[in-house]
Every structure is written in structure tokens, then in C-alpha cells.
Amino acid sequence: MTKRKIIFLNLLMFFFTSIVTANEYNWELKNVPNEYLGTYLPVDYINLLQDKCHKKALMEIASTHYDVLYLKESICYSQVLYEDGYAVQTKDFEKWTFKTEKNEKYITDENGYLYRRISSSTEGHPESEFVLSYFFGLFPDANVLIKENTIKIGNKVYEIDMHLPGSGTPECSFMLSFLDMSGKEPYAERYFVFIEEIKEEVIKLKEKGFKIIKGEYDETRAWKIDLTDEVVHSYCE
């Protein structure tokens, strides 16, 4: 075989491989129905929030569902445990179905799992605002202000942590963070939120309500956060 033929065959193989790869990993979407654009959460995840624990709900569906869907005009993004973002592949999107039921928008994915639209927008952390509103909506008389992924209690504004803390961190409803700028360097303070009757040995609420307790990083284990005795906010009905 001549050198010219070898070069030609290599170029042909490269061209063929490029086409196959492009078809396999294509994220451009076509014929996306405009009336269904927005942010979606798995219906199973939403139902599991009844157990008052974001981490448990997320871990329950993480291996089977998209954690969240941000459907735009020509692309759809998702997240892996709210740590890493990625785009849904075209070949999977083409198997999706859409429906409207009782004025709610739904998507069924390629594996048959159902997602409910929680916002017609994909900007401003709709999923975070949904979770905060879900939990603190249980206490309409509590003096809290929710905006996007933040909640204001008293004079302090916290941000919800949708991603999960390190292994060994005590279980709670969800966690908040606050960026302390008072020192020489910014420091992210972490807080545990306990809603209603969370069955956790370290703390139990005798009445319906919530408590926000300060956490501290465990220097012996990466990203592990320990519970302190400092209750920064509490509310009981």
C-alpha cells in the first residue's frame, strides 16, 4: 500500500469518526414547543419533599431522573446533584412528550419519568426558589422573605445550598450559606435548617416549626459540616 493511500484512508477514517461522534453527541434541539420553555423538576422529587428533606429526595431520584431541566429554545440543560451542568442530547430529547394538565406543563423524558414546570423562566434559580417556598410556605405567619435562591430572616440574607454537603454531615431539611465579608477574607458560613419533625437524634422539634442552627467545617474530613449548639433562628406555631 502506497503512502498516499495510507494517508487517504486515515483521513477517511477521521472524517467518518467525526460524523459518528457529532451525531452521538449533539445537543442542538429542534421543534421545541415555545409554550413549554422553562424550568422543570421531577414530579417524584417534588412528592418526596413531603418528607422534609431535600438531600433524601434528591438522592432518591439522582440515578434515574434528570435532577432539573432548563428547557430553552434550542438546548436543554440539566445538573448532576447541582454540582456539574450538562446539556441533554438531541437523541434523548426527541423521545420526550409534552402535555398540559390542569394548567400545569409536564414533560415525560425518554425513560418515562415525569417533570413539572415550576417556572416559565430558566433564569434566577427557579428551582431554589421553589424549594425555599415549598418548605417555608408551611409557615405563612413566619417573617421570611424569599427571592430567587435567597431567604431573608431578620436582617440577614441566606442562600440555599442545593448541592449536597460532604459525607458524615448531620441530616437536615436543607442547608443555607452566608458569605461573611467582615474578616480579611470572605468566609462561607453554613447553617442547618430543620423543618417540623425531622427524625434526627441530634435535634427534635416538639412543635410544628423550624430551626436554623449554625454549622462548622470538620477539618479532618473534606466538606463535612458539624452541627453546633448555636441556634440563630427559630419559629414555632
Cβ 183 vs Cβ 176: under 8 Å: no
pLDDT of residue 134: 94
DSSP output for 67-83: S-EEE-SS-EEEEETTT
pLDDT of residue 24: 52
Which residues have CB under 8 Å from 129's CB, separation 6+?
A: 119, 146, 147, 148, 149
What span, in angstroms and rounded, lies between the C-alpha atoms of 116 and 44?
Answer: 10
pLDDT of residue 183: 64
pLDDT of residue 197: 54
pLDDT tens digits, the chain, 237 residues: what are they? 555 544 444 544 544 443 333 345 698 999 999 999 999 999 999 999 999 999 999 999 999 999 999 999 999 999 999 999 999 999 999 999 999 999 999 999 999 999 999 999 999 999 999 999 999 998 988 999 999 999 999 889 999 999 888 788 888 999 999 977 676 666 688 999 998 654 444 455 456 789 999 999 887 776 688 999 999 998 987
Sorted by where each begins, the domain ranges of the chain are 34-119, 126-236
pLDDT of residue 184: 61
What span, in angstroms and rounded, lies between the C-alpha atoms of 90 and 87?
Answer: 9
Partners of 17 in the β-ladder:
none
Cβ 125 vs Cβ 149: under 8 Å: yes
Which residues have CB under 8 Å from 230's CB, separation 6+?
A: 213, 214
Q: How far out from the chain centre does Cα 195 lie? A: 19
Q: Please report where in the chains the cell 394538565 appears, as a residue.
A: 101
Q: How far out from the chain centre does Cα 220 lie? A: 27
